[in-house]
Copies of this chain bind each other. A is one copy, B any other.
């Protein structure tokens, strides 16, 4: 298969991208890896690593910066690495696109260049959150700040297909993120979405609170992109706060320093569980093409994991599965049943 990596995405670009693409190309020699970005910057970095033949450099003169406003920049900068890379997917010259860049920019470019899967109201960003032993998919984690109940129903359909096809979960359990477990809890959006999910034919388990997301009671949790984004960023912030405070406290005395040294393997396990590079990248589900967005802080290892996530989606023909799933819903006389 053919995968495109945006060379100008991560906060520390392009070094992590260059290292990642070379590592991925060695790991999966049967695949082709396109590295898209400013050739004059990338060429010397890449050649220093003596890349295998299945790494191909593709020039894109512009960069979609983290500070660029998505809507206007898409038209003002038609030749960013994002745009050039996504056009390769659009034109059938590549199977999936991976970036660690501006999420809004990725969404805007994806909508502009690739468009939506037929019948999809709004594409959404799906994240994978660590639980004890597995991961829970949460959608939308930031693409749509304002949502309608029908969008959340479609998020549930698409994320369930992902859970089934990519993660191999049979009849994925679907939860609705709320401020209480009982039916009837929630804001207006949650209350209006509940009956749609109840009659959807999906394996709906009702409202779930954040605690349940991390307990792994559901395979898929749906929410609007504003709440999902607050959920994501609160998780990250609390982890950051705890790790900082613990580090400081462990360095406070000779005794605790020795303790920290001995306890190091335990901290390593914690780190592995929370490491964003374990989670890979978040797919933009609903776009008519496979697009994955990694964390801006991604290093080379995280980017290789993101490419692995993209490979898995291509392998199971995720795009075709999503399109078929949505089409089946639209054909059904009552689109909320079935």
Residues of A within 8 A of B (CB): 130-132, 142, 145-146, 177, 179, 185-188, 190, 209-211, 213-214, 224-227, 229-231, 233-242, 244-246, 249-250, 252-253, 255-256, 258-267, 269-270, 273-274
Contact = CB atoms under 8 A, between A and B. Distances in A.
A265 B239 CA distance: 20
Contacts of A213: 237
Contact of A242 (B146, B229, B242): B242
Contact of A265 (B231, B234, B240, B252): B252
- Between A250, A263, A264, the greatest number of chain B beta carbons within 10 A of the residue's beta carbon is seen for A263
B264 A259 contact: yes
Contacts of A238: 214, 234-235, 238-239, 242
Given A242-B270, A245-B269, A259-B262, 4 more contacts: A131-B241, A214-B238, A234-B234, A242-B242
A264 B250 CA distance: 9
12 contacts: A145-B185, A179-B229, A214-B237, A234-B234, A235-B238, A246-B266, A252-B266, A256-B263, A259-B260, A259-B261, A259-B264, A260-B263
Contact of A262 (B130, B244, B255): B255
A226 B262 contact: no
A145 B259 contact: no
Contacts of A264: 259
A265 B274 CA distance: 24
A297 to B, nearest CB: 12
A234 B250 CA distance: 25
Contacts of A262: 255-256, 258-259, 262
- Between A187, A224, A255, the greatest number of chain B beta carbons within 10 A of the residue's beta carbon is seen for A187
Contact of A246 (B132, B177, B270): B270
A178 to B, nearest CB: 8
A15 to B, nearest CB: 25
B244 A132 contact: yes
Contacts of A214: 237-238, 240-241
Given A145-B186, A187-B226, A270-B242, A263 B250 contact: yes
B259 A263 contact: yes
Contacts of A177: 230
8 nearest CB pairs, A to B: A259-B262, A259-B263, A249-B266, A179-B229, A210-B234, A187-B226, A238-B238, A249-B269
B250 A260 contact: no
Contacts of A239: 238, 242
- Between A244, A245, A246, A259, the greatest number of chain B beta carbons within 10 A of the residue's beta carbon is seen for A259
